[in-house]
A and B are shown apart, each in its own frame.
Chain A
Amino acid sequence: MLTDLTDEQLLAQALAGDEDAFTALYRRRQGPVFRFALHMSGSSSIAEEVTQDVFMFLIQRGRDFDPSRAALGAYLFGVARNYVRRALERNYAETALSSPVDDEAQSLTVNSDPGEGIARQQASTAVWKAVLSLPEHYREVVVLCDLQELTYADAAEAVGCALGTIRSRLHRAHDMLSRKLQHSAAAAPGISSVTARCLS
């Protein structure tokens, strides 16, 4: 069964021309790559474009992947990171003019309780805006470690820096996020109430 194979084994089979192995690898890994790009850019169209580019890159240059250096997941995040940067540079004008987070917030949230849903939506929109307002090198470690739940070692491999750098960036990013969210909570009290419910 293809689902029992590791990422590296699937990649090896895909590079040998096995379409099913490539499909299985894509279906396993496209979600995290898409969400990474979505969290980084705030735009689902950019995220789709980046996802396609990442797997095209894997088709073209998959043989360059060295399993001894990092896991395939971290490698794909590293490739995605570069494509997100390029996409953000290219689409800077459009993303700056529109408010993609608000647009995505409209389309992504589904909740059974309307009151709870609005409060959660406010909270998640506030935190997403706060994440997007971070400088890029802080944002990527927050997305990788806090939202994609990568280990520090994998995040260091994806970003291409030392483990200590990831820790210090993350520590600084958390301080910045906390300050931004306190401002948001002061403006919209629903955010803090949702947070309190989450904690309890």
Chain B
Amino acid sequence: MTCREFEHRATSLTLWELSRAQDQQILGHAGGCQKCAAWLQQQRMLAATMQTLQARTAGCAAGPDVERALLRAFRQGPSQAVRPEMAHRFTPIAMRLSRFFEVGAYVAVAAAIVVGLFLGVQLWERRSVTLPVQSQSAQPSASLPSVVAQESGSNPHQQRPTVSRSSVNRLRPRHVLSASQSLPDMAEPSQTSMDADYVALMFCDPLSCSSDAQVVRMELPSAGIAGSGGEQDAQMRIADVVVGYDGVVRAVRIVN
């Protein structure tokens, strides 16, 4: 018996038949061929381990609920009993639907992120476009006459209630920058001659870029001018006053 014949004969037997092999030809060949003997031993080992599983599950059976349910269905008759394949036929569709909604949820989240990013970019671009325009209109010399205060009080702090919050907000960052640039200690070489006319007041914090400032044109008594180093006389002076958001005057420019 050749190894090929041995293999052909052995595979025609089930695992159990092979493990209990009484076939003299198979046993004779396995006795003389180490390779086939090892294979036969391997099959016997496999049969033995299968036997443990078979023994362990030998007593397993469906519960009594299954029998009761089937008997109920049997009593209803073949035409009225619920067809089991119907339930299975619909299940894949339900699975497909749930997967569709799952994918839909991911798509919705992704779309929300994209829309959010788009709106954010749009808002940022709009702000970056409008701010230079605001800064141009907020130049002290050009736009400030519209917020000129007509009060003639000597204390600059009294001007704060006359300046509305909305007008302050409109004149925000770039205006602050231009106002702060007008301060002598923060002046840059490219500063215009008009900004250079502002005189910084002492004992005041310099304007930071994040703070707000408002330029108010007002009439100042000569006593106030004298306080800032000007010449004292009886004439009222018109001046542009840089007022910080905290109401403290930071710089003054005499107009007339």
CB of B81 within 8 Å of the partner chain: yes
Quick check: B88 and A124 within 8 Å, CB to CB?
no
| Across-interface contacts of A86 in B (CB, < 8 A) | 88, 91
A178 touches B42 (CB 8 A): yes
Are the C-beta atoms of B53 and A131 separated by less than 8 Å? yes
Does A23 contact B84, Cβ atoms closer than 8 Å?
Answer: no
Contact of B60 among A26, A31, A131, A149 (CB under 8 A): A31
How distant is the Cα of A126 from the Cα of B49 in the complex, in angstroms?
Answer: 9
B81 touches A60 (CB 8 A): yes
Q: Which of B136-173 contact A (CB under 8 A)?
A: none
Q: Are B48 and A198 in contact (CB under 8 A)?
A: yes
Report the contact-size class of chain B (Cβ under 8 Å from the partner): 35 or more
A133-157 vs B: 1/0 string, CB under 8 Å? 0000000000001110101100000
The CA of A176 and the CA of B170, in the complex, are separated in Å by 79
B31-64 to A contact mask, C-beta < 8 Å, 1/0? 0000000000011111111111111111011110
Q: Which residues of B contact A38 (CB under 8 A)?
A: 57, 60
Q: Is the C-beta of B74 less than 8 angstroms from some C-beta in chain A? A: yes
Out of A48, A60, A181, A192, name the residue touching B46 (CB < 8 Å): A181
From A44, A105, A149, A191, give the contact of B49 (CB < 8 A).
Answer: A191
Size category of the A interface is: 35 or more
Give chain B residues whose Cβ lies under 8 Å from the Cβ of A124. Answer: 49, 52-53, 55-56
B58-90 at interface with A (beta carbon < 8 Å): 58, 60-63, 66-67, 69-71, 73-75, 78, 81-85, 88
Residue in contact with A30 in the complex, picked from B15, B66, B73, B92, CB distance below 8 Å: B66
Determine how close the nearest CB of chain A comes to the CB of B160; give it in whole angstroms.
68
Which residues on the A side are within 8 Å of B24 (C-beta)?
Answer: none
Known: A19-B74, A59-B81, A178-B42. A127 touches B60 (CB 8 A): no
A120 to B52, CA, bound (A): 7
Contacts of B62 in A (CB 8 A): 30-31, 34, 47-48, 51-52
Best-buried of B44, B67, B91, B92 by chain A (most CB within 10 Å): B67
- Minimum C-beta distance from B118 to chain A (A): 36
Residues from 175 to 200 in A contacting B, C-beta threshold 8 Å: 177-178, 181, 191-192, 194-195, 198-199
B11-28: contact bitstring with A at CB < 8 Å (1 yes, 0 no)? 110111000000000000
Residues of B close to A52: CB separation below 8 A: 62, 66, 69-70, 84
- Closest-by-CB residue of A relative to B63 is A48
Query: B194 in the interface, Cβ–Cβ < 8 Å?
Result: no
**Interface presence of B133 (CB below 8 A):** no
Asked if B1 is at the interface of the complex by the 8 Å CB criterion, the answer is no
Give min CB distance, A139 to chain B, whole Å: 13
- Residues of the B chain whose Cβ atoms lie less than 8 Å from the Cβ of A121: 56
Assuming the A-B contacts A35-B57, A147-B53, are A26 and B70 also in contact, with contact meaning beta carbons closer than 8 angstroms in the complex?
yes
- Least CB separation from B12: chain A residue: A167
A127 touches B50 (CB 8 A): yes
The smallest beta-carbon distance between B44 and chain A, in angstroms, is 6
Known: A27-B67, A90-B95, A127-B52. 4 other contacts (CB 8 A): A39-B57, A56-B83, A181-B45, A195-B48
Binding site for B on A (CB under 8 A): 14, 19, 22-23, 26-27, 30-31, 34-35, 38-39, 44, 47-48, 51-53, 55-57, 59-60, 62, 83, 86, 89-90, 105, 108-109, 120-121, 123-124, 126-128, 131, 145-147, 149, 151-152, 167-168, 170-171, 174, 177-178, 181, 191-192, 194-195, 198-199
